[in-house]
């Protein structure tokens, strides 16, 4: 076992495991970037050894964040490609591994642009659009919507407060924003014209795994007759059913509550919104109504 | 105008206006206590002047926290009583004013005990009971439920974090507690057996004005088939309709967000839950199912 190979892999894995700020699409890209970088530094001298080592690293990356279908799908696509590659020269093989990763990263970036185009067609001028937590896909949509005069309602998104990062991005796009606590969603969902959310995974039945609070938004949206659009590249589709999903729970200390006897602090990051609460799923191929 | 009288009134008014920790019942009692204390120190030497001055102070107290029907109702009851009082000796009148306030405060304390008795009959042994924000009435219910082996789920209740005060009280009652962010309600409402909330006001149609987030709980409870019980003394009944209610908005700086251009921080403390989402209203007289 080469220590420097192992160190590289552990550092990248830990960075992804402890990342509380990147959305699912970004984490998928970080995982693929880690594989691409590893393909260049891995010291195996023969192609079969190189491939096997990269596949092992790929499996570890997939297990790092089990709620993130993007990591699974991007890593699997990359691994499948390389398993079917017949190049035997290790240096040529490294170059192919890198280029395959770059192709997949470009596809992902294109997908987000296409989703933003679809969303611009869907949202009326001067609409008030509500979002929750940070999604790089939804931010691309807001950037594209800025010229249509939309305003935004942004939730705090406790405990990570990703809403602050959303608001900072919206400042760059000069979009007027109202910033609310998650608890005020019952008041502000009915004041919006549309809701845009990203997702960590789309399950087999269309259920959406996303930041905790999304299901509350969906219930409030259904109650008030506000359309809820889920914006995700197709790489976020998972084959899992809702009863197979492992929802990640993070350290309760993130809530900043003092220790009290008999009191357990819970910090589940994601919830699952069933398909009947979703108006449409938007991916790079178009808009799929429920 | 006597400055010391005015100073006394302004100090008590400001204490009630800026109070972010007391529930509605407690605020009602604080308002009544302020009137009782004022009746003792007010320097008017004739009974009609004394009465008039106290009625003016009563009106100011009612306007201090417009979402709180308890203040309105307790103050109105006290004022009505005194307006119908025929005692002309100012010192005797002061004594009656004080005793009337003490009677009303005792009635309120009795009401809470009776509500707790009704709730104990309603909740099964070993149930998991979810609550939101701080209500002295709901805390009396939990104290009475402790011997039935109930466990609690408590929300953070941003931005005031009243959930921490709830959890500290539950520690005193030795009730096992799970403490969650408001955003996790979509995950934890379906894991509870019953929901107990207090209220700031019950409107004419049975709608409930309570801490922001209550409507989200009610939607999630309806969706999951979990009963939602509203526990309030009858002094919290308001004659207002839901479209007449002025929901208090506090300073946005309570959210602790840095200033950003184009970004407005909203901090509405209360929301309104419609009667069709409520399983039953419990007051000192009994349980009223919807």
Chain A interface disruption, residue of B149, B164, B171, B181, most A CBs within 10 A: B181
**Residue that terminates a domain, selected from A64, A96, A111:** A111
Q: What angle do CA B278, A274, B131 make, to 5 degrees?
A: 35
A102 and A233 together in one domain: no
Which positions ≥6 away from B42 have C-beta within 8 Å? Answer: B5, B50, B53, B54
Is A82 found in the same domain as A165?
no
Interface contact B257, partner A, CB < 8 A = yes
Picking from A57, A77, A111, the residue at the C-terminal end of a domain is: A111
Say yes or no: A86 and A67 in one domain: yes
Compute φ and ψ for B272, nearest 5 degrees.
-120, 125
Residue B38: beta bridge partners?
none
Same domain, yes or no: B249 and B260? yes
Cα separation, A202 vs A206, whole angstroms: 6
Q: Number of structural domains, chain A?
A: 2
Instruction: Mark whether A164 and A70 lie in a shared domain.
Output: no
> What's the pLDDT score for residue A129?
98
Cβ pair B211, B248 in contact under 8 A: no
The parent domain of residue B189 ranges over 114-289
- Across the 290 residues of chain A, what is the mean pLDDT of every consecutive 10-residue run? 82 93 87 94 92 95 87 92 91 94 92 97 97 95 97 96 95 98 98 97 95 98 98 91 89 93 96 98 94
Residues B199 and B272 in one domain: yes
Q: Residue A213 and residue A202: Cα distance in Å, rounded?
A: 16
Among A82, A111, A140, give the residue marking a domain's end: A111
Residue in this structure with the two tokens 């699952």, named with its chain if needed: A272
- Read off φ and ψ for residue A213, nearest 5 degrees: 115, -25
Q: pTM of the predicted model, to two decimals? A: 0.91
CA distances from A92 to A47, A57, A80, A196, B187 (A): 9, 20, 17, 43, 49
If asked whether residues B136 and B275 sit together in one domain, one would say yes
- What are phi and psi for residue A283, nearest 5 degrees? -125, -170
Q: From B169, B174, B107, B110, select the one nearest B135 (Cα to Cα).
A: B169
**Alpha-carbon dihedral sign for residues B251, B248, B28, B276:** negative
CB-based contact, A225 to chain B, within 8 Å: no
Q: Which of residues 98-137 of A touch B (CB under 8 A)?
A: none
Which residue ranges in chain B fall short of pLDDT 70? 1-3
The ipTM, to two decimals, is 0.90
C-beta atoms of A187 and B156 within 8 A? no
Instruction: Determine the pLDDT at residue B128.
Output: 98
């Amino acid at each position: 076992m080469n220590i420097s190979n192992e160190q590289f892999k552990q550092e990248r894995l830990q960075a992804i495991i402890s990342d509380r700020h990147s959305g699912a699409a970004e984490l998928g890209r970080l995982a693929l970037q880690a594989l691409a970088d590893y393909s260049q530094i891995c010291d195996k001298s023969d192609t079969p050894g190189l491939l096997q080592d990269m596949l092992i690293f790929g499996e570890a990356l997939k297990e790092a964040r089990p709620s993130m279908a993007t990591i699974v799908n991007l890593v699997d696509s990359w691994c499948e490609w390389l398993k079917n590659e017949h190049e035997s020269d290790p240096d040529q093989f490294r170059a192919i591994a890198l280029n395959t990763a770059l192709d997949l990263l470009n596809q992902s970036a294109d997908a987000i642009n296409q989703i933003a185009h679809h969303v611009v067609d869907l949202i009326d001028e001067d609409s008030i659009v509500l979002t929750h937590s940070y999604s790089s896909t939804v931010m691309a949509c807001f950037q594209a919507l800025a010229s249509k005069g939309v305003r935004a309602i942004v939730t705090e998104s406790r405990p990570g407060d990703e809403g602050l990062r959303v608001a900072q991005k919206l400042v760059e796009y000069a979009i007027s924003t109202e910033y609310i606590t998650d608890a005020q969603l019952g008041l502000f969902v009915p004041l919006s014209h549309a809701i845009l959310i990203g997702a960590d995974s789309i399950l087999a039945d269309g259920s959406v795994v996303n930041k905790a609070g999304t299901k509350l938004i969906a219930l409030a949206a259904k109650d008030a007759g506000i359309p809820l659009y889920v914006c995700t590249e197709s790489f976020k589709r998972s084959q899992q059913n809702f009863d197979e999903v492992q929802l990640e729970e993070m350290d309760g200390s993130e809530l900043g509550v003092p220790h009290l006897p008999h009191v357990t602090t819970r910090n589940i990051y994601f919830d699952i919104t069933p398909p009947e609460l979703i108006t449409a799923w938007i991916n790079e191929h178009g808009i799929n109504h429920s």
